Amino acid sequence: KAGVTQTPRYLIKTRGQQVTLSCSPISGHRSVSWYQQTPGQGLQFLFEYFSETQRNKGNFPGRFSGRQFSNSRSEMNVSTLELGDSALYLCASSLWSRDPSYEQYFGPGTRLTVT
């Protein structure tokens, strides 16, 4: 079974631009979560989608948004990029978001650099 895939793997953008990152979960998984990982802040939760609905949201400004499609693929968008948005963005999928024991399966991440 194919793992979680994220595209693109690397991205360089300029301040003020916007960016869209994509995540394809493992086949059959309906829950997708997004995280921002930086050396200083560690792993920070952005949001979670389940069956096309946002179920959880972290403490990030409105410039960060996401969506999930009917095939469970998810995108996240960051508008008006700031230097501090440079980070590794991780996507994780899971089978069912309401079983607390569930394991999250992570993608390789998208490395975003804002200059």
Partner 1 sequence: AQTVTQSQPEMSVQEAETVTLSCTYDTSESDYYLFWYKQPPSRQMILVIRQEAYKQQNATENRFSVNFQKAAKSFSLKISDSQLGDAAMYFCAYRALSSDSNYQLIWGAGTKLIIKP
Q: Interface residues with partner 1 (CB under 8 A)?
A: 3-4, 33, 42-45, 48, 55-56, 90, 92, 97-98, 100-101, 103-104, 106-109
Q: How far is the CB of 52 from partner 1 (least distance, A)?
A: 17
Q: How far is the CB of 30 from partner 1 (least distance, A)?
A: 14
- Identify the burial level of 37 via C-beta atoms within 10 angstroms of its C-beta, where 0-12 means exposed, 13-18 middle and 19 or more buried: middle
Shorter beta-carbon distance to partner 1: residue 4 or 32: 4
Shorter beta-carbon distance to partner 1: residue 39 or 62: 39
Q: How far is the CB of 67 from partner 1 (least distance, A)?
A: 18
> Tokens standing for 86?
């440079």
The separation between CA 13 and the C-alpha centre of its own chain, rounded to angstroms, equals 17
Shorter beta-carbon distance to partner 1: residue 72 or 97: 97
DSSP per residue, 46-113:
EEEEETTEEEEE-S--TTEEEEE-TTS-EEEEE-S--GGG-EEEEEEEES-TT-TTPPPEE---EEEE
Q: How far is the CB of 99 from partner 1 (least distance, A)?
A: 8
